[in-house]
Amino acid sequence: MEKGNSIYQGKAKELYLTNQPEVLWVEYLDQATALNGVKKDKVVGKGQMNNQITSKIFEILADQGIESHFIEKISNTEQLIKAVDIIPLEVVVRNFAAGSFSKRLNVEEGVELPFPIVEFYYKDDALDDPFINDMHVRVLDIASDEEVKEIKELALKVNEELKKLFASVNIKLIDFKIEVGRDSQGNILLADEISPDTCRLWDMDTNDHLDKDIYRRDLGDLIPVYEEVLNRINTL
């Protein structure tokens, strides 16, 4: 496989073409951002942590029958993925109140929700990724009714598998965000990454944060925390 031109530089990843049209090359960067990019820092070692954590999680999900865009990890910081058209939605699943849910609805962080909920945010930096509902998704022609149903089902299925996976390494899955895309046949496929950048992970015994809230909230050094998550996941 040959690495081609860069086609996209995101906040924490850079995407390259390859000599195969349906395959892209991703590099995980040593960059941390928060507040939609307003807070931004170089964090040496973060790229390889997230690449390893995401790769391992996508492999475990595939074993459980949940396909994703992930093909293979090709180095500490790089993966090959299937090219998909990303649907401009941030799909958030919440098991416990935290973050924007707690702020918006005045529910204390850590309160368990009676059942997991799925939320949609419209992926648009200029608009600051606004919270939208199913009807907005239809009206803005982001996805069809059938796709919305499928995306919600997929998000809840991913939640069930991730809850089990993290519980087995003594981590409580508070909430997380996934992105989905359409492959060349129009099938919905899990995409992007699943890492401490995109999940809220609390230690089951201490409720210590094992995720990007360390950086967002200036709670300390991010690398030892991500290393802890990687070490625990590597025991699986």
Binding interface with ligand C5P (CB under 6 A): 90, 92, 98-101, 129, 175-177, 198-200, 212
Q: How would you classify the pairing of strands 23-28 and 89-96?
A: unpaired
Q: How many whole angstroms separate alpha carbon 98 and alpha carbon 174? A: 7
Q: Of the candidates 153, 172, 152, 150, which has an alpha carbon nearest to the alpha carbon of residue 162?
A: 172
DSSP-derived 3-state class of residue 52: helix
Nearer to ligand C5P, 128 or 221 (CB): 128
- Ramachandran class of 189: left when φ > 0, alpha when ψ lies in -120 to 50, beta otherwise: beta
Q: How far is the CB of 136 from ligand C5P (least distance, A)?
A: 16
User: Residue 96: CB partners within 8 Å, gap ≥ 6?
Assistant: 109, 110, 111, 112, 113, 172, 174, 175, 200
Q: How far is the CB of 89 from ligand C5P (least distance, A)?
A: 11
Nearer to ligand C5P, 22 or 128 (CB): 128
Nearest residue (beta carbon) to ligand C5P = 99
- Side by side, the strands of the sheet bearing 3-9 are 3-9, 13-18, 23-28, 78-82, 70-73
Nearer to ligand C5P, 17 or 122 (CB): 122
Q: How far is the CB of 112 from ligand C5P (least distance, A)?
A: 15
Q: How far is the CB of 51 from ligand C5P (least distance, A)?
A: 16
Nearer to ligand C5P, 1 or 111 (CB): 111
Q: How far is the CB of 107 from ligand C5P (least distance, A)?
A: 11
Nearer to ligand C5P, 133 or 187 (CB): 133
